[in-house]
A and B are shown apart, each in its own frame.
Chain A
Amino acid sequence: MLGLINKSIQCFLTSSYGDAVWQRIAARIDIGPDGFETMLHYDDVLTDRLIEAAGVVLDRPEDALLEDVGTFLASREALRRLLRFGGSNYWEFLHSLDELPDRARMALPDLELPGLRLSEQGEGRFELRVTSQRSDWVAVLAGLLRAMADDYGALALIEPDETARGARLTITLLDITFAEGRGFDLAAGQHAVAAQLGGGGA
């Protein structure tokens, strides 16, 4: 698996619980204190061990941790912006989820995201089916979708629902313009890009 996924979890742990906690988790899974490199590949088993170790050290259920990872991801400005390219409101965003894995692959061909399939059930209810070898995506997506609802200023109920019928989330969109969402300016990223590249010119 691409280190990006592991590194995201690492960043979440470091920024939420501090470096000392991360060091303890890193020691349990025999990875150096610097942790993962975003663009290198790691064995999938290491991701399982990472999540397990985090659960043990923090004494928290893994699903709850993974939901927090999802929330954390949506709060990272770079990723938040990339997600906001999905549409100009939460309804459009939900419908863009079908394309999300391919969109991500467009930028990073190595990134393996779960297959996502949104279906409308009527009356603001949606079902998002999640197809992946890994069962932990549902919890991550639940956190991420909740955070993005806040970002768009929409009021939505998001419930993970793992049954024999497969991994899925049910989403109930109660109010699409519940609150003032956070801004999204198509061009804002370019300023950031210019600054990152040391270009200055905007």
Chain B
Amino acid sequence: MNFELPRPELASRDEEIGRCLACRQTALTELGGLMPMYLSLDAGGRVRAMGPTLKKIAGGVGLGQPIETYFEPRRGWRRSGAMRVPGPDGAPQPEILLGKWRVAPGRRIHLWLRKHPDIGLRGSAIALPPSSGGGALINLTFGVHLAQAVRCFGLTNDDFAPSDLAVELLYLQEAKAVIMAELRGLTARLEDARAAALDKAMTDALTGLANRRAFDAEFAGAIAATRAGGGGFALAHLDLDHFKAVNDSLGHAAGDRVLEDVARILREEIRHEDLAARIGGDEFILLLRGDLASERLKELGERIIARLEVPIPFEGGLCRISGSIGVILSRSYDHPSAERMIADADAALYESKRSGRARCTIIRPDEIGGGLTPRDPRA
């Protein structure tokens, strides 16, 4: 790299020139140690010297070139002839003459790298005395582009002045990343635990179906959606027939096995968007979304009952059960309410039981408020 010093204007004896050059060279080396990113410009705006770190990043420095060869002057650089910005007190600021550029001493200035336009440097300038040729001495630093610059130029500890906080900044960035990773881990573990707890709170432990709490929440949501003009839904209330007999004759293990089987059948018969919940010992409820035709609901109910009646083998014996179902539709109601709908579904179920069990009763819209009343139609 050619690092020639500009010829001093002294036209005296050769040895004096030599001494002077050597002396200046030492001074510049020392200056580079103190400020590794200094930039010395002459009064014509040409690069006179650079600190070692700046030389590393400016790329292919031949001295005596205009500053624009390596840098794009932005903030704080005024082209001669452009409007002067007044200083903080309103008075015109003194400026340093640098060829076609002017900078105010001590004010913040920015230079961007020509070869890496994403990296900007910032700093400030002081004027050099006319006796040493004028121009400016500028001290620069990376500011927010530090991390990019370190990556881009492979900078090390030794490329920064001891007074520079650059290394602390890198340290902090790295330390924060480690801590962030820890916190992300913690958040993920807490989220898993939360999901598991929620799942436990909303699930019936034996069958894996939704529990009463989960059903109530979904049901309330479905009613609200219907009231707001969304799609309708149907409720199917299922009560097992002869379940107590299985429990009594074959034991609770057999009863549990039956309940698991019922849950499996319900899961298989409903669609993804529906919900099956176990809301009592042998009571289940299905929330079936959409405005389903009564005929389809009837078919569904009868198919479920037919599957429930297939005997379930258990430890050499056979568990025989059936089920009664009562169905209501949200579109039967002008103003659907949870209490009313549950009571009507209950009444429909009761009707199935009353008329001989193992059947599916659907209360159609025109029957609401009609013949059926909850629980005991004979009362």
Chain A residues engaging chain B, CB cutoff 8 angstroms: 4, 34, 37-39, 78-79, 81-82, 85, 87-88, 103, 106-108, 185-187, 189-193, 196-197, 202
B151 partner, pick from A4, A85, A187, beta carbons under 8 A:
A187
> Among residues 178 to 219 in chain B, which have CB atoms less than 8 Å away from a CB atom of chain A?
178-183, 185-186, 189
Task: Give chain B residues whose Cβ lies under 8 Å from the Cβ of A107.
Answer: 171-172, 175-176, 179
A185 partner, pick from B147, B154, B171, B178, beta carbons under 8 A:
B154
Task: Give chain A residues whose Cβ lies under 8 Å from the Cβ of B156.
Answer: 88, 185-186
Tell whether B34 is near chain A: CB-to-CB under 8 Å.
no
Shortest Cβ-Cβ A-B pairs, 8 listed: A107-B175, A193-B177, A189-B174, A85-B171, A187-B151, A88-B157, A38-B182, A78-B178
The answer to whether A196 touches B168, judged by C-beta atoms less than 8 angstroms apart, is no
The answer to whether A38 touches B174, judged by C-beta atoms less than 8 angstroms apart, is no
Task: Give chain A residues whose Cβ lies under 8 Å from the Cβ of B183.
Answer: 39
The answer to whether A82 touches B150, judged by C-beta atoms less than 8 angstroms apart, is no
Question: Can you name 9 extra interface pairs (CB under 8 A) apart from A34-B189, A78-B174?
Answer: A37-B189, A39-B179, A82-B175, A107-B172, A108-B175, A185-B154, A185-B156, A187-B154, A193-B177
The answer to whether A196 touches B177, judged by C-beta atoms less than 8 angstroms apart, is yes
The answer to whether B173 touches A193, judged by C-beta atoms less than 8 angstroms apart, is yes
> Among residues 113 to 166 in chain B, which have CB atoms less than 8 Å away from a CB atom of chain A?
147, 150-151, 154-158
Task: Give chain A residues whose Cβ lies under 8 Å from the Cβ of B186.
Answer: 37-39
A196 to chain B, nearest CB (A): 5
C-alpha spacing A185/B154, complex, angstroms: 8
The answer to whether A39 touches B182, judged by C-beta atoms less than 8 angstroms apart, is yes
From known contacts A39-B182, A39-B186, A108-B175, infer whether A189 and B170 are also in contact, taking CB-CB under 8 Å.
Answer: yes
The answer to whether B167 touches A85, judged by C-beta atoms less than 8 angstroms apart, is yes
C-alpha spacing A193/B148, complex, angstroms: 13
Number of A-B contacts (CB under 8 A): 73
A28 to chain B, nearest CB (A): 23
- For B185, the closest partner residue in chain A by CB is A38
Task: Give chain A residues whose Cβ lies under 8 Å from the Cβ of B172.
Answer: 106-107
Task: Give chain B residues whose Cβ lies under 8 Å from the Cβ of A196.
Answer: 177, 180-181
The answer to whether B171 touches A82, judged by C-beta atoms less than 8 angstroms apart, is yes
**Could you pull out 8 A-B pairs where Cβ atoms are within 8 angstroms?**
A39-B182, A82-B178, A85-B167, A106-B175, A108-B175, A187-B151, A193-B173, A193-B174
A182 to chain B, nearest CB (A): 15
The answer to whether A186 touches B178, judged by C-beta atoms less than 8 angstroms apart, is no
